[in-house]
Amino acid sequence: MNDPASMAQAARARGYAYLGIADHSRSLSIARGLSIERLLQQRALIRELNEESEDFRLLAGIEVDILPDGSLDYPDEILAQMDIVIASIHTGFKQEQEKIMHRLESALANPHVHLLGHPSGRLLGRRSPYQVDLDRLLLVAARTGKALEINATGDRLDLGAEAARAAAELGVPLVINTDAHEAGHLQDMRYGVAVARRARLEPHQVLNTLDWEELQSRLARSRASGLTTKA
């Protein structure tokens, strides 16, 4: 696993203007999930790295686990401090559809969440998707203004092209994410881009094609509208 500084260096070498760092949250201790203390330390480190650099930015993010009861693995006041919050299911894959949907819908209703990670949970050739009702999920994403991930890892490709197309038709933004834990995996981006091309997505439908200022305002808008809806 590479540290944020070396990930930044590798992303910059690929011509990127920014990169989001989002490690796993605390309940995933087997995947070295971060305690609140370590998460906030990492956030401070990322702020320092950004101050040293003028033409490249890191986003201090988190991939927060959607727990089996639909709550998130950190309290809201911690999520609110992060630049980007990805919510994902990593446990309880065998739950019936209503439970899975309750979890996904609760996560998307949280105003601090920007994005749902690997929305179907499939691992190609190894694990079927959990019991997600995709049409319903897309409508919830559209209503709550949340983005969905195209996870570019070779054994995920999740969302796939057909689902990404359906999302875009409803105006749901996509984010192509390599899920890279080390610099070498940043090259998986091409697989995610291939999915997006097959889905006939235009660059403006993919949030991480935006320049830094536009991305910042889209992320802020997503949170602001969630907070207003909730109040």
Q: What is the dihedral of CA 64, 191, 9, 35, to 10 degrees?
A: 10
- Fill in the per-residue mask, 64 to 103: x = in contact with Zn ion (CB under 5 A), - = not in contact: ------------------------x---------------
Instruction: Give the pairing of strands 115-116 and 174-177.
Output: unpaired
Tokens of 201: 């997505």
Minimum distance from residue 153 beta carbon to Zn ion (Å) = 9
> Interface with Zn ion by CB under 5 A: which range of 7-15, 70-78, 113-121, 156-164?
113-121
> Interface with Zn ion by CB under 5 A: which range of 111-119, 138-146, 168-176, 217-225?
111-119
186-215 residues in contact with Zn ion (CB under 5 A) are none
Q: Which is nearer to Zn ion, 12 or 26 (CB)?
A: 26
Q: Which is nearer to Zn ion, 117 or 192 (CB)?
A: 117
Rounded to the nearest angstrom, the gap between the alpha carbon of residue 159 and the centroid of all alpha carbons in its chain is 12
- CB of 196 closer than 8 Å to CB of 174: yes
- The DSSP letter of residue 158 is B
Minimum distance from residue 118 beta carbon to Zn ion (Å) = 6
114-153 residues in contact with Zn ion (CB under 5 A) are 117
**Number of residues in contact with Zn ion, rule: CB under 5 A?**
2
Residue nearest to Zn ion (CB): 88
DSSP H helical ranges for 52-175: 76-79, 97-109, 134-144, 161-169
Phi-psi category of residue 182: left, alpha or beta, with phi > 0 → left and psi -120 to 50 → alpha: beta
Per CB under 5 A, residues contacting Zn ion are: 88, 117
